[in-house]
Structure 1
Amino acid sequence: MGVAIRTAGEGDRELIVRLLDEAFQDDPVSGWVFPSAEERRVKHPGLMAAFTDIVLAGGRIDVTEDGSACALWLSVPADEGHDDHAAEDEGPAMVREAVDPDNERIERIGRLTAAIHPTGRAHEYLWMIGVAPGRQGEGHGTALIEAVLDRCDREGLPAYLEASSARSRRLYERLGFELAGPVLDLPDGPSMWPMWREPRSQRSARVL
């Protein structure tokens, strides 16, 4: 039986924020950003809300019909030279200001991940994917990702993401992603793996 998926809208904002907060409360990177469990419980939802608003405004959020999982995607255009990235440079600082001005790690994580993000080719960027803790392992996250990867294969588009745990890295490898550069080791914290997936159609063409 397949997983029914739809595109989220503004009316789904509360659902998406709650899903992401629950899914990432125990994530190694979230634990690095908010080392105190109490602080994470209080302030982590605000960070997830900021991310949700960014993607609702400039990307696409897919959600399962039963509300158990969501995926945040941004379509990244081909980079023509980095002539003016002022707005992008301000993004991490703006998120920090909105969520917790005293927490410099909120800004740092944004700048560190932006620094390793591949440039030059248009691609789909999986910013975050969250599955409700009680529903993990049922294939909902895989279904959300595969729905976009199928389109990437049809349109000849690569896809990119940063894996935030060894477990998620193994999942992405099964879906065709490969390590796309040096591992990002957060200062006194966990690692993140930049991962890139070439569209399957292009890979087949090279073999032939």
Structure 2
Amino acid sequence: MGVAIRTAGDGDRELVARLLDEAFQDDPVSGWVFPGEEYRRRTHHRLMAAFTDIVLAEGWVDVTEDGSACALWMSVPADGHGDGATEDDGPARVREAVDPDNERVELIGRLTAGIHPSGRAHEYLWMIGVAPGRQGEGLGSALIGSALDRCDREGLAAYLEASSARSRRLYERLGFEVTGEPLALPDGPRMWPMWREPAR
């Protein structure tokens, strides 16, 4: 059975932000940015909303028709990141909007920007979220696979950072390979930069 996928619009903002908030509550990187369950429950949704706003404005969001999963993508030109959260003072602006006293909100943007490959145009999978009760059903693979099919048709590479060993294994099954050393967050988990060449 196929998964129906559509491109999200501005009217889907709350759905996407809520979905990401729920999907990433137990993610190791989210736990590092927002340590403590109560603090994360109160604050994490603001970062997910900021990311949603950036990608709706500058990239695109694929969402399953039933609203149970979404993927945030940015097109990155050969000469830059094409990413409002990591250009210039973007991380500082996100921190100010989300949680001014939490330096990790800014640091995560700067650190991931520092390992982001440049020199070749590619599609950047910023985040993918699946509702907790629907994980393991293949929705994430279907969402990513749809975009990767387009990458293959257009001869575009794809890039992402895996935030857990579990997600890294999923991405490896989809043709991504770890490129370079993992990013070790200060006193925190690792993230794996992963690259996928277009299929010939």
What interval of TM-score do these two structures reach, taking the shorter chain for normalisation? Answer: over 0.9
What is the match of residue 189 of structure 1? 188
What SS does structure 1 have at the residue aligned with 2:88?
helix
Q: Deviations over 1:120-174 (max 9, x none)?
A: 0000000000000000001111000000100111110000000000000000000
What is the match of residue 110 of structure 1? 109
Q: Whose radius of gyration is greater, 1 or 2?
A: 1
C-alpha separation in 2, matches of 1:16 and 1:200: 29
Q: Deviations over 1:19-76 (max 9, x none)?
A: 0000000000000001111110010000000000000000000000000000000000
What is the match of residue 73 of structure 2? 73
Question: Which residues of 2 match residues 165-176 of structure 1 at below 5 A?
Answer: 165-176=164-175
What is the match of residue 98 of structure 2? 99
Shift of 1:181: 1.0
C-alpha separation in 2, matches of 1:58 and 1:46: 18
C-alpha separation in 2, matches of 1:138 and 1:36: 29
C-alpha separation in 2, matches of 1:62 and 1:155: 18
C-alpha separation in 1, matches of 2:29 and 2:142: 24
What SS does structure 2 have at the residue aligned with 1:73?
strand
Give the gaps of 5 or more residues in structure 1: 202-208
Superposition CA RMSD, Å: 1.3
What is the match of residue 135 of structure 2? 136
What SS does structure 2 have at the residue aligned with 1:121?
coil
What TM-score, normalized by structure 1, do the two folds share?
Answer: 0.93
What is the match of residue 153 of structure 2? 154
C-alpha separation in 2, matches of 1:56 and 1:149: 19
What is the match of residue 59 of structure 2? 59
What SS does structure 1 have at the residue aligned with 2:119?
coil
What is the match of residue 14 of structure 2? 14
C-alpha separation in 2, matches of 1:180 and 1:89: 25
1:40 partner letter = R
What SS does structure 2 have at the residue aligned with 1:88?
coil
Shift of 1:18: 0.5
C-alpha separation in 2, matches of 1:41 and 1:89: 29
Shift of 1:180: 1.2
What is the match of residue 120 of structure 1? 119
What TM-score, normalized by structure 2, do the two folds share?
Answer: 0.96
C-alpha separation in 2, matches of 1:181 and 1:89: 24
2:91 partner letter = P
The count of aligned residue pairs is 197
C-alpha separation in 2, matches of 1:12 and 1:151: 23
What is the match of residue 26 of structure 2? 26
